[in-house]
């Protein structure tokens, strides 16, 4: 159970709620890291050894942003809370924009999961969709608990 009921019927967030939130935070973090890891075979599959240095730098910078914020958040830092929340919002909006943009151009939001002809791309897009959901969950979790809950 996430918390205990008071005599007024409201749910109180006790130690079990904190543990559940920490597990949810860890699960979302693993999804984000899996998405970064999936970019390596994706890039190699599509471009071989001809990669875009600017794209690689952007990927490295956003990974550093996430890791720094996430690790600081796990240590109870207010800066970590803000960095992780900011990252999750940008990540979520990025995937939302791509889903809407794809739909406007005639592809459904889950179009890539209907394409079984390239298993590497199928897996990478599946990981990306899971990351989209994880980013939304991370935003919800952080806002619901607030910054004080992570100290």
pLDDT band for position 149 (cuts 50, 70, 90): confident
Q: What is the pLDDT of residue 133?
A: 96
* Residue 25, number of CB atoms within 10 A of its CB: 20
Q: Where are the domains of the chain?
A: 15-150
How far is the C-alpha of 71 from the C-alpha of 65, rounded, in Å?
A: 10
* This prediction's pTM: 0.82
pLDDT band for position 17 (cuts 50, 70, 90): low
For residues 95-105, give the mean pLDDT. Answer: 91
How far is the C-alpha of 32 from the C-alpha of 40, rounded, in Å?
A: 14
Pairing type for strands 3-5 and 11-13 reads antiparallel
pLDDT above 70 as % of the chain: 88
Assess contact for 83 and 69: CB atoms under 8 A.
yes
pLDDT digits (tens, 9 = 90+) for 50-88: 878 898 899 999 999 999 999 999 999 999 999 999 999
Residue partners of 111: CB distance under 8 A and separation at least 6? 102
Q: What is the pLDDT of residue 7?
A: 44
Higher-confidence position of 100 and 16:
100
Q: What is the pLDDT of residue 1?
A: 39
Q: What is the pLDDT of residue 4?
A: 43
pLDDT band for position 16 (cuts 50, 70, 90): low
pLDDT above 90 as % of the chain: 62
Task: Give the three-state DSSP class for 13.
Answer: strand
């Amino acid at each position: 159970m996430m918390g205990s009921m008071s005599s007024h019927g409201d749910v109180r967030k006790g130690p079990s709620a904190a543990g559940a939130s920490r597990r949810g935070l860890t699960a979302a973090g693993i999804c984000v890291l899996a998405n970064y890891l999936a970019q390596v075979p994706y890039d190699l599959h599509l471009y071989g050894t001809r990669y875009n240095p600017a794209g690689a730098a952007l990927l490295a910078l956003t990974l550093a942003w996430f890791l720094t914020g996430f690790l600081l958040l796990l240590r109870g830092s207010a800066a970590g809370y803000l960095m992780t929340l900011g990252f999750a919002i940008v990540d979520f909006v990025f995937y939302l924009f791509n889903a809407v943009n794809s739909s406007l151009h005639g592809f459904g939001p889950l179009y890539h999961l209907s394409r079984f002809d390239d298993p590497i791309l199928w897996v990478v897009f599946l990981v990306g969709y899971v990351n989209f959901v994880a980013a939304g969950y991370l935003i919800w979790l952080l806002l619901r608990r607030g910054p004080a809950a992570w100290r």
